[in-house]
Homo-oligomer: A and B are copies of this chain.
Amino acid sequence: MSRRWRREGLSIGLVPTMGALHAGHLSLVERACQENDRVVVSIFVNPIQFGPGEDFERYPRDAERDAALLAKAGVDAIYRPTVAAMYPPGSSTRIHVAAVTEPLEGQARPGHFDGVATVVAKLFTAVEPDRAYFGQKDAQQVAVVKRMARDLDFQVEIRVCPTVREPDGVARSSRNAYLNVEERKAAASLSSALRLAAGTYAGGERHPQRLREILRERLEAEPLAQVEYAELVDPETFTAPGSLAVLAVRIGRTRLIDNHDLAMEFPG
């Protein structure tokens, strides 16, 4: 289908998702529809980017609701392969991006980014998009995908869209569905910490150690939050120093991530 569109001179936008669509995904879809003649949304809960003991099995799935939302948004095609179609018996190829995959999420989730890089490359070759859309919420994933696309010469423009937040600042995430009422309140500590640090940065504070302390203190003030990391890194390499504040926090059994470039005003 993509090749026919391309032959007709139509541009193609791809929005890769794992389904369980929320306002964050829909903002990517909306932008893709503005910038391309045709838009494909992929829905695939990618087993190889989940580690043992992670939430692959219980990851939220709702094919009918997703399809209805995408129809309403005006997308041209949904690409929803099965696991057996994506990884048939005998398949054995993996894409590994070094360096940027190693700290933070890479440390916490070994093999995760190989799974991401591999599935995104497969989507790029299958759909051959002109542009692909990713959310800033998964900042390290964005850096990995950009690196992979550049290194493998994919002729695709990687577009990064701002994190969509709830009124209380919580970043939209399919995993928010795991949170009970108390945990959902506690989840606000992530965006609250980022807002606080961005305010301090705006006030002139540049000392990374001090800014990290502000993040940690705010997170640790929340009894339900278990901080996995709270760091300031460069948004391309994900190593210190840098102005991108990145957080991974467990709230009960649920692992949440969020980030914000402290050099920019925190929204809302």
Residues of A within 8 A of B (CB): 3, 6-7, 9, 90-100, 117-118, 121-122, 124-126, 128, 147-148, 150-155
**By DSSP majority rule, is chain A's interface helix, strand, loop, or mixed?**
mixed
Given B95, B126, B128, which contacts A93 in the complex, CB threshold below 8 Å? B95
Given known pairs A3-B155, A7-B6, the reply for A93 and B125 (CB within 8 Å) is no
| Distance (whole angstroms) from the CB of A154 to the closest CB of chain B | 5
In angstroms, Cα B216 to Cα A48, docked, is: 43
Residues from chain B with Cβ under 8 Å of A121 in the complex = 152
**Quick check: A100 and B92 within 8 Å, CB to CB?**
yes
Q: Name the distance in Å between A54's Cβ and chain B's nearest Cβ.
A: 22
List B contacts of A97 (CB < 8 A). 92-93
Q: Which residues of B contact A95 (CB under 8 A)?
A: 93-96, 152
Question: Which chain B residue shows the least CB distance to A150?
Answer: B91
Residue contacts A-B, CB under 8 angstroms, 17 given: A3-B6, A7-B9, A90-B99, A92-B98, A92-B147, A92-B151, A93-B96, A93-B147, A93-B151, A95-B95, A122-B152, A122-B153, A125-B153, A125-B154, A126-B153, A126-B155, A128-B155
B-chain residues with CB within 8 Å of residue A153 when the two chains form the complex: 122, 125-126
Taken together as a complex, chains A and B put the C-alpha atoms of A147 and B88 apart, in Å, by 11
Contact B151 A125 (CB under 8 A): no
